[in-house]
């Protein structure tokens, strides 16, 4: 089961006209070969197959090749990878010594970021045409030769609290909450200063098993979108008292995003291209979702104005009400203490200006 809808119903039924891109490397037509690379996430292959099907329908493409992130990473030879890891290790050590909170992000800098570099090299060299990313893991500022061309219809953005006792956020005094996210940890202690937060690692099934085993965790925090994609939850709650599918002793509370702010880009899948690749841009835009794009542009621009990365403890909540875009944010200092907060609204047609106004409203 998947909850991602690839085609914007407001788009015309016919594919984009051949040759519409003026500064393209190649013409767009049925014989165009397009190569996608996955993001290394669970069920990525299934997602890419859905994207490929959407591209065939919308753009009239006949040949679409799908490669894994591992294939893309082989573009970097051993010497390049050695240099990348050495440089990143020095960078991480510097930050660990100066900012202890960054220690929680070591896994990202040492494991995930080199893979992002590998995909960028493959994209730049023309080995692939479109890279598919989970946007909450993509840096808010891309190099000028790359561009975020489109995003798919957004999945649910809420965070989910999973407990054994079914009490939801009414946790007992000094309860232990497990999470691997600095943003979630900061918000939990902001909303419930009495609880303890413990680091939690592993994939979703592993994290659920750690909670079910009755170890140190009284509750854990996970992304709703991931639980739905892995069939642990239905897309919409069938009953107020929910449990994890196949694990009836684990109870679920979907946290309202206006109370527990999600990460910028959470629940969204982005399509990255070379900036000058007109045909790939046309194809990406053909399966993109405009309302999600407007929200994502505002959220990522807000991160850029902050100078924040994708693992900085920032919560951003956006809604689209007709032609009005509404934004709220919590920005947590790494040294600790209460967050800076802000809120604003403005024309959805100008998401960058709305993001700028949100940045100015922080206090």
| Catalytic (active-site) positions | 137
Three-state SS sequence of 41-69: CCCHHHHHHHHHHHHHHHHCCCEEEEECH
Beta strands in the chain (DSSP E): 33-37, 63-67, 130-134, 146-151, 159-163, 176-179, 196-199, 219-223, 242-244, 247-254, 269-274, 314-321, 324-331, 340-347
CA angle 321, 327, 329 (to 5 degrees): 155
List the one residue out of 215, 159, 212 whose CA is nearest residue 185.
159
Residues 117, 131 contacting (CB under 8 angstroms)? no
Integer Cα distance of 329 and 264 in angstroms: 10
Greatest CA separation for the chain: 64
Q: Are strands 219-223 and 159-163 parallel, antiparallel or unpaired?
A: antiparallel
Both structure tokens of 15: 């594919």
Cα-Cα-Cα-Cα dihedral sign, residues 317, 310, 355, 21: negative
Residue 107 — φ and ψ, nearest 5°? Answer: -60, -40
Distant-in-sequence, close-in-space partners of 11: CB < 8 Å, separation ≥ 6: 58, 286
Cα-Cα-Cα-Cα dihedral sign, residues 134, 140, 145, 149: positive
Q: Are strands 63-67 and 33-37 parallel, antiparallel or unpaired?
A: parallel
Residues in the chain: 363
């Amino acid at each position: 089961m998947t909850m991602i809808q690839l085609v914007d119903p407001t788009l015309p039924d016919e594919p984009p006209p051949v040759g519409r891109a003026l500064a393209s490397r190649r013409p767009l037509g049925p014989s165009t070969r397009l190569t996608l690379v996955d993001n290394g996430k669970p069920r990525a292959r299934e997602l890419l197959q859905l994207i490929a099907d959407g591209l065939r329908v919308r753009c009239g493409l006949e040949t679409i090749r799908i490669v894994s992130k591992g294939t893309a990473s082989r573009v970097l030879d051993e010497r390049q990878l050695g240099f990348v890891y050495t440089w990143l290790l020095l960078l991480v050590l510097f930050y660990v010594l100066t900012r202890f909170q960054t220690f929680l992000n070591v896994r990202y800098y040492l494991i995930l970021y080199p893979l992002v570099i590998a995909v960028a090299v493959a994209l730049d060299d023309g080995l692939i045409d479109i890279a598919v990313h989970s946007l909450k893991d993509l840096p808010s500022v891309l190099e000028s030769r790359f561009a975020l061309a489109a995003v798919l219809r957004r999945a649910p953005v809420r965070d989910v609290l999973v407990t054994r006792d079914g009490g939801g956020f009414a946790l007992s005094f000094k309860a232990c909450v497990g999470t691997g996210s600095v943003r979630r940890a900061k918000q939990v202690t902001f909303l419930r200063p009495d609880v303890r937060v413990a680091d939690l690692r592993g994939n979703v099934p592993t994290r659920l098993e750690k909670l079910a085993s009755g170890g140190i965790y009284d509750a854990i925090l996970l992304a709703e979108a991931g639980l739905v994609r892995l069939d642990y939850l239905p897309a919409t709650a069938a009953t107020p008292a929910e449990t994890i599918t196949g694990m009836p002793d684990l109870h679920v509370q979907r946290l309202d995003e206006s109370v527990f702010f999600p990460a910028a880009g959470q629940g969204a899948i982005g399509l990255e291209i070379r900036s000058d690749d007109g045909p790939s841009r046309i194809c990406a835009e053909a399966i993109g979702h405009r309302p999600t794009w407007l929200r994502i542009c505002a959220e990522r621009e807000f991160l850029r104005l902050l100078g924040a990365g994708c693992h900085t403890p920032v919560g951003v909540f956006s809604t689209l009400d007709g032609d009005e875009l509404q934004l709220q944010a919590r920005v947590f200092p790494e040294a600790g203490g209460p967050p800076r907060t802000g809120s604003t609204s403005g024309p959805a047609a100008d998401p960058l200006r709305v993001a700028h106004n949100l940045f100015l409203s922080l206090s």
